[in-house]
Structure 1
């Protein structure tokens, strides 16, 4: 059975109440005992003073007879008070000696003893009364039983324990209903959260009139829902785009195959059909490989096999690799700047290849593509710039999204499938970097950065830890870009 917060709070309230009742009751019990002891001593002092006056004025044997009668009159029948007077000659005496086990004594002349025939202790005071008339000095003892005090304390303790138990039980029951009432906003939030489904992803928890203890929780939960909604929307868009991108080569394959089967074909014609189909299969393979790469990147995978290299040397190697497509487009590439960094050479070359090929595709004949390397604090920025048509500022933030193209019509879908810049962003993320795009004064610049120094070293340590744990890096991280891959994944 699930644990109930209301029951837990009610039980805690009851335990706290029982603790408070116990502490307060103990304090009251001690105060009452002190007051009763003080009252017992005051009563003993009063009886002692009355008896002293009576005994003091009995100066003759005749008057002593009257004194004995007076002492008998003030002696209770239940034996709660006793008087004992003794003289050297035995004439002036009264009562029986007060004997018993001595319990305690005090400096002020009080003693506490337990007489054999008495169930309770007796407080005793002893004093000497000087001679008067024919009466010699006498010694008088007055004892007062604490039985009434004991009975009072027992009754008080029983009543206190009963009231504490009843009060704790009442606190338990009332606390449960109070806790349920106090947790009503949480119950409402639970109900609202249970109503959220993929069909109403835009629904959010109502944070109005919430206690401040729950307001932050509701805001955080709404933020999580917002992020999930964005991720879900991106997933839907991604699935739609993937379906669209794969539908084109599949449609071409089906169409070409159906045409080839309509009549007998020569070996040369069948070879051409198979060659065309092979190109479409290659395109589908590129799309699937890029999708798998991005999926791994989305899981937060970091770049492995990091080596310290000169980025200028890596850029020069990539530009040399792309010499043929640069010549075919009649454009030239220049390089400025340099910096050393820890990178995965294969991933770095792939990201740079995509940026350069993107610039080649959107450059006119005879233009110059410039590649610059600049160190900015803990980041090293690699930027590729080319002259081209201005890009609207509202579109710059979406250029690194998957399957995003500035042209709304997909007329050039055969040349690229909209994952090139998304792969650049994934490579930057794997190197703890960022991406950016700008369009100013007829120059379009696409850039990505990689972390330098401590942050990259931290990434390398995480990669070593993953390798020790037996986690192998995906094959795509170690693959070198081929000519088809270099020309394929363009934005």
Structure 2
């Protein structure tokens, strides 16, 4: 069993078990000790009261002086122990009888009156002698010819003290033993109880880049570990999606960057094989600039796809006025559309629940696509309207009908219907893929339809919950 110092959960729980066991048993033992102490004290007090009652009876019914002189052993036998003392005498005079085998110091105890009936509260608990409690009781008696005498009985409670000391030792000893046993049992139970956690840790340790699709099994795991397993599997899902996204970006970049780089390299090598005119070099540089601009846009778009954080996008959603957003995008593309003889119509109503920058980028990509492939002297329609379940945005343009077999793949990265546009500096095949990513971040939907020379892209943003 491996214990990681003070940070070991097993050690912590074992110590908790030990402390709880010791405190519980010691507390119970203290309570029983106090009860036992009270009972023993009561027993000793009863014995003292009983003896002094006996002495009052004897001395009241007999010739006191003759009894004291002739039968001193009677009084000594009544004490029954060397730790007791008895004195009989008149107040303020030397005692007539002293029985003190232990040579105890004579205490000063007030005597109860003759007519007083002895009770337990008449017993005086005096300061301890060498740590041993001492109790005494005194009473006045009517001895007839000798007048009132005072009888004092005291006792050193050594037996009671020894019994209680043994009891205390037993309580703390048993509590300590129970704490040790419970600590060991606790260690074993915690060690066995954490076996499922160690199995999960071993399983998790074996998950790497090559098997990110593997998940922790929740079957047979304790109920307390289910939330952790679900959270860990959800984290693996996010990591798998992120890794797949990065892998796809890397693959796409390696594939798509090859063509423009080869073009740049080939054209430059051909130009360097022999001297050329200034016009030829200018044409080469212009062509290279076109390819470099295409590379720049491609890298920007691919980095956008790789860096987009779903949690951040969802947390920054706002209620956006549909009419304002449609007019904003129409104003932005008005000049670009006019350059190719097109115009833009925008209308909207309701509220769109979306992240502003991502919404505008999706609309901008759709509008740029519509202007790029739309027919001259046509109108691009941008509209938005709200329903109970969310907001719908549509971008329509007039132009060539897109064959049905291409519609399902338009949102794939680098997919082009017209392969002749592959080297276009204005197209890198990522615009619609970015739109799809933005809609996935918003848990929305996207689709495209093309019929009778009209192409319509539709986006759906769910309503605010």
Give the TM-score range, shorter chain. Answer: 0.7 to 0.9
Contact 2:326 2:348 in 1 (8 A): yes
Secondary structure (helix, strand or coil) at the match of 2:235 reads helix
Contact 1:102 1:113 in 2 (8 A): no
Counterparts in 2 of 1:253 and 1:60: CA distance versus 1, 3 Å: closer
**Counterpart-to-counterpart distance in 1, 2:386 and 2:166:** 87
Equivalent residue number for residue 124 of structure 1: 136
**Counterpart-to-counterpart distance in 1, 2:308 and 2:241:** 18
**Counterpart-to-counterpart distance in 2, 1:251 and 1:418:** 18
Counterparts in 2 of 1:279 and 1:268: CA distance versus 1, 3 Å: same
One of 439, 442, 446 as aligned partner of 1:437: 446
One of 7, 10, 19 as aligned partner of 2:11: 7
Contact 1:110 1:125 in 2 (8 A): yes
Equivalent residue number for residue 471 of structure 1: none
One of 73, 84, 89 as aligned partner of 1:86: 89
Equivalent residue number for residue 461 of structure 1: none
Counterparts in 2 of 1:391 and 1:333: CA distance versus 1, 3 Å: farther
Contact 2:337 2:371 in 1 (8 A): no
Q: Would you say 1:317 and 2:331 are equivalent positions? A: yes
Contact 2:390 2:460 in 1 (8 A): no
**Counterpart-to-counterpart distance in 2, 1:149 and 1:394:** 100
Alignment of 1:60-75 (within 5 A): 65=69, 67-75=71-79
> How does the TM-score come out when normalised to structure 1?
0.71
**Counterpart-to-counterpart distance in 1, 2:218 and 2:108:** 75
Counterparts in 2 of 1:390 and 1:445: CA distance versus 1, 3 Å: farther
Q: Gaps spanning 5+ residues in structure 2: where?
A: 113-118
Counterparts in 2 of 1:275 and 1:345: CA distance versus 1, 3 Å: farther
Equivalent residue number for residue 417 of structure 1: 428
Contact 1:99 1:115 in 2 (8 A): no
Secondary structure (helix, strand or coil) at the match of 1:335 reads strand
Equivalent residue number for residue 477 of structure 1: none
Equivalent residue number for residue 469 of structure 1: none
Give the deviation of 1:371 after TM superposition. 0.9
Give the deviation of 1:9 after TM superposition. 1.7
**Counterpart-to-counterpart distance in 1, 2:274 and 2:10:** 80
Structure 1 window deviating more from structure 2 (94-103 vs 246-255): it is 94-103
Deviations 1:27-61 (A, max 9, x none): 22211211111111122233334434443442476
Contact 1:114 1:122 in 2 (8 A): yes
Counterparts in 2 of 1:234 and 1:166: CA distance versus 1, 3 Å: same
**Counterpart-to-counterpart distance in 1, 2:142 and 2:406:** 119
Counterparts in 2 of 1:248 and 1:47: CA distance versus 1, 3 Å: same
Aligned-residue Cα RMSD (Å) equals 4.7
One of 288, 306, 330 as aligned partner of 1:277: 288
One of 319, 342, 346 as aligned partner of 1:335: 346
Secondary structure (helix, strand or coil) at the match of 1:384 reads strand
Deviations 1:248-289 (A, max 9, x none): 112223333455556676665555444433322221122123
Secondary structure (helix, strand or coil) at the match of 1:385 reads strand
Equivalent residue number for residue 446 of structure 1: 458
Equivalent residue number for residue 95 of structure 1: 98
Contact 2:49 2:123 in 1 (8 A): no
Equivalent residue number for residue 463 of structure 1: none
Secondary structure (helix, strand or coil) at the match of 2:291 reads helix
Secondary structure (helix, strand or coil) at the match of 1:256 reads helix
Give the deviation of 1:239 after TM superposition. 0.9
Deviations 1:363-419 (A, max 9, x none): 567865321144679998653134755868994xx8656x25376x96643343222
Secondary structure (helix, strand or coil) at the match of 1:322 reads helix
Equivalent residue number for residue 256 of structure 1: 267
Give the deviation of 1:198 after TM superposition. 0.8
Equivalent residue number for residue 465 of structure 1: none
Contact 1:100 1:114 in 2 (8 A): no
Q: Gaps spanning 5+ residues in structure 1: where?
A: 453-491
> How does the TM-score come out when normalised to structure 2?
0.75
**Counterpart-to-counterpart distance in 1, 2:462 and 2:64:** 122
